[in-house]
Amino acid sequence: MASIGKTRLDSGWLAARSTEVSLSGTQLTTTHPPSGPTSPWLNAVVPGTVLATLVENKVVPDPFYGLQNETIIDIADSGREYYTFWFFTTFQSKLSGNQHLDLNFRGINYSAEVYLNGHKKVMPKGMFRRHSLDVTDILHPDGQNLLAVLVHPPDHPGRIPPKGGQGGDHEIGKDVATQYVQGWDWMAPIRDRNTGIWDEVSVSITGPVKIIDPHLVSSFFDDYKRAYLHATTELENRSAWVAECSLNIQVTTGIEGNICLVEHLQTQHLSIPAGSQVQYTFPELFFYKPDLWWPNGMGKQSLYNVHITIDVKGYGESDAWSHLFGFRKIESHIDSATGGRLFKVNGQPIFIRGGNWILSDGLLRLSKERYETDIKFHADMNFNMIRCWGGGLAERPEFYHYCDIYGLLVWQEFWITGDVDGRGDPVSNPNGPQDHDLFLICARDTVKLLRNHPSLALWVGGNEQVPPDDINKALKNDLRLYPYFENSNEISKSSEDLSVVPKDPSQYLDGTRVYIQGSLWDGFADGKGGFTDGPYEIQNPEAFFKNDFYNHGFNPEVGSVGTPVAETIRATMPQEGWQIPLIKKLPNGYTEEVPNPIWEYHKYIPYSKPKKCVDQIELYGTPKDLDDFCLKAQLANYIQYRALLEGWTSRMWSKYTGVLIWKTQNPWTGLRGQFYDHLLDQTAGFYGCRCAAEPIHVQLNLATYFIEVVNTTSEELSNIAIEASVWDLEGTCPYYKVFENLSAPAKKTVPIVEMKYPKSKNPKPVFFLLLKLYHTSDFGILSRNFYWLHLSGGDYKLLEPYRRKKIPLKITSKVFIKGSTYEIEMHVENVAKRADSRSLTYMNNFTAKQGNGDFDMASVEPATGGTDEKHEVSLFQRIFRCFTKENGSLKVTEVNGADVGVAFFLHFSVHALKTDHKEGEDTRILPVHYSDNYFSLVPGEVMPIKITFKVPLGVTPRVALHGWNYHGRHTVH
């Protein structure tokens, strides 16, 4: 008897253009199967798309490099047949009596014919629907099965107007598919419109009874002390007799390592008629004080494993299903004080700071590994929400899994956008897709696929548009809330209350999350559908703090720049793309940037806005070359996005309830709106966000020059103090002040004191400001924030000669290896002579922060100047006793320098150690997770940095340190 369960079919696929294959599907899966990757057959990317397969086999050039996308024929010119492809594979499966095998496709774009062992089955249209075929009766007796799938592109791939535009000519909106594929102001057109078997393919073996789409819901009472787990599942009896079944549900929680604690085990007996499908609801399971799931920054992401099995009398275990489940309650309402939508999790208000998401890769080369990196990056930025934009995907379960793990709430939109479904040039069809029934089939199936994830926070009908009336009405009805979730007041659990609610909440399609008809309605933007999101351009940093910057409570989209580091430009463009923008001086004193054609194609957004914002790169002086331009862009990126989030947080609850930045990343090698590029290297804006969005934060209001303390936690801060020190370019400290005996109420932003510098006499035109918020009891630092500032109307040009400063550094490193994973602990210390000994917090005793399971270097008390190396070694031994393999010993490097001052804008990168690398070759190892980067150190300060990455087999890594005024070649390898 074959084992029950699922087997993924994700390797060994072949693909060929349909017009180049003369055989029928029946012939391919009987007498004439392809024998391997010989013409016209290619090794195929499945899951993936036709274009991903062509790129992988170098049949077409990489569309993400330079202007190569322009050399690939567009489906509008080639015709749909050109991108209609056969996909072929084989699989082994030999069943015993009463066993069944399902062939499962989690996503095909757009329609398909499936042939298995000569038998044909037609797959209906729709990108966002699952297909499950019972193929038991057509399996080969010898267990060797031949599978061929003919995949057709979307019915309405559309054309790309000469000027491009949002969604091309909008024809793609007639289908239920991704809309970004015709191009957008941040994306070039995808030539095959994502045609392919784009999501998981699997076969699953069951006994006579199958478990289908269980639904899990939690409810709470007595201030979250009592919790109930509700569970409903569909059960299908495929046999010709009544199945006598034992249905089991088990709930476990991990304690340590592989040890699990069984919280509940319940068995129900039922009979299922022959050939029928029934719905069964378990008696509710009671939990006392369960561990709750919290969003990032609010607490732990506690998860329980719910395991459902069904045993059939005379057969044994027939099917099994499991899912990680988080006990949590998400509510939202329109806040009367701000007009914005205010979210609560487990009764606690949460100030939303997050970003918009398209998808991880424009060719749908989706993987668990990339998803984990993507989501961990968002958590590392201290974000708590991701919005899945309506022109992209209904994101995959793997995406949601990592959002569950890392605590990112998800706003999931359906496939409607204003540009493609109601406006634009040409004006698009406001009635949405042609087949409304198909849209609803896909929507309902998507809900069933994703509804058990605790991270899923709300459903939204569309981006800047409401779905057509009939679809909107149906979604409102299908996604109506169970009464318990309709308001924030807990209902008493009495028979009188429940008598008016006959259904169990798990019997609803969802029932637990609010449905909002569009991204500009009901507490978002102006709440009435007006185009009051944005802006999408560079801003003067102080503008974000001003009262008139944004007039509504929750902005779902506000965007800006996103130039990556120079290595990414070189890796994604030929040499003619390395030309930096030309600076055009305008009569009004402002400047205009003119990018080269490759940057223009990659949607570059400038760092200047004539009549509104002076060029934020030119503030540092005219850039000389690509490296200079990209480094200065990182300075601007950091300031821009830190100011954006600090400006919003400054008015937490008084004016705003949340903000989502447009956007966090790019599904291709774009040059705008990103915190990390498509190659997974972070911009400095990443760390500006990480700083600004920390749960406890000290900041400078750039409009009022008041120091503010932000406390987004549910605990009041008391016995805290702020150290404010100003440093000039000569390395002296003209201003130093400690503000003691402070407190900060829970979930409040409080102004503390106005900075007197630079209003004092003879202020320096360019200066640094270091703010530290700390506990007075032990000097434990809760927040550290470093600014570089210029006087009003000034610039940063004095920082150019500051590059020549030679600041002495002490760099301590320790390397630990676990398999292919490297973990490197760095201490970087500015050992310049201290210009002022009044500082109380030079110990840099960082306070431990709640993490996501990773070791947090912020909990380390680093050694300070004067501490001997023996003490450092013993400290590291205590820290790293949890790691399995130690590589080498503690390494201490002294960087000579006679100057006193700030070590400015230091940043690490990780490279493959190569002795023969060519000039311009990209040697970076990516992705890398840094506990911090793009940091600065005043004299005497030490910064602990943790660096984590995986290396390919046979590669030796080296870690390089760079800086504005540090040009050494310090490496660790």
CB contact at 8 A, 684 and 758: no
- Angle among Cα 450, 280, 414 to the nearest 5 degrees reads 20
Amino acid symbol at 98: N
First to last CA, the chain: 52
**DSSP codes of every residue in 869-916:** HHHHHHHHHHHTTT-S-EEEEEEEEEEP----S-EEEEEEEEEE--SS
Residues listed for the chain: 973
Q: Contact, 938 vs 725, CB < 8 A?
A: yes
Q: How many CB atoms lie within 10 A of CB 840?
A: 13
For residue 121, how many C-alpha atoms fall within 13 Å in the half-sphere facing its CB? 16
> Where do we find the tokens 């509504």?
552
SS3 label, residue 136:
helix
Q: Tokens 């035109």 belong to which residue?
A: 765
Rounded to an integer, what distance in angstroms lies between the CA atom of residue 900 and that of residue 834?
Answer: 8
User: Are 413 and 519 spatial neighbours (Cβ–Cβ below 8 Å)?
Assistant: yes
Are residues 136 and 116 in contact, defined by beta-carbon separation less than 8 angstroms? no
Tokens standing for 818?
């676990």
Nearest to 292 by CA among 251, 326, 339: 326
Report, as residue numbers or ranges, the catalytic residues.
Answer: 464, 557
Number of neighbouring beta carbons within 10 Å of residue 755: 21
Cis peptide before 283 (omega within 30 of 0): no
Burial category of 344 from C-beta neighbours within 10 Å (exposed 0-12, middle 13-18, buried 19 and up): middle
* Peptide bond connecting 228 to the previous residue in cis, omega within 30 degrees of 0: no
Residue with tokens 């947090």: 856
SS3 per residue for 475-536 = HHHHCCCCHHHCCCCCCCCCHHHHHCCCCCHHHCCCCCCCEECCCCECCCCCCECCCCCCCE
- Rounded Cα distance, 672 and 668, in Å: 11
If residue 929 lies in a helix (H) or strand (E), which one and from where to where? strand 928-930
Place of tokens 């402070």: 742
Q: Six-digit token pair at 331?
A: 């509510």
Q: Give alpha helix (H) positions in 651-772.
A: 684-692
Q: Is the peptide bond before 295 cis (omega within 30 degrees of 0)?
A: no
- Which stretches within 540-596 are classed as H helix? 566-572
Q: Which residue has the tokens 């450092």?
A: 872
- Cis check for the bond before 225: say yes or no (omega within 30 of 0): no
By CB atoms closer than 10 A (0-12, 13-18, 19+), residue 591 is: buried
Burial class (CB in 10 A: 0-12, 13-18, 19+), 968: middle
Residue whose pair of structure tokens reads 């705008």 in the numeric block: 672
The separation between CA 206 and the C-alpha centre of its own chain, rounded to angstroms, equals 35
Q: Do the beta carbons of residue 817 and residue 887 sit within 8 Å?
A: yes
Contacts (Cβ under 8 Å, ≥6 apart) of 212:
233, 234, 235, 236, 277
Q: Phi, psi (5° rounding) for residue 147?
A: -125, 125
Both structure tokens of 908: 């690490």
Q: 948 in helix, strand or coil? A: strand
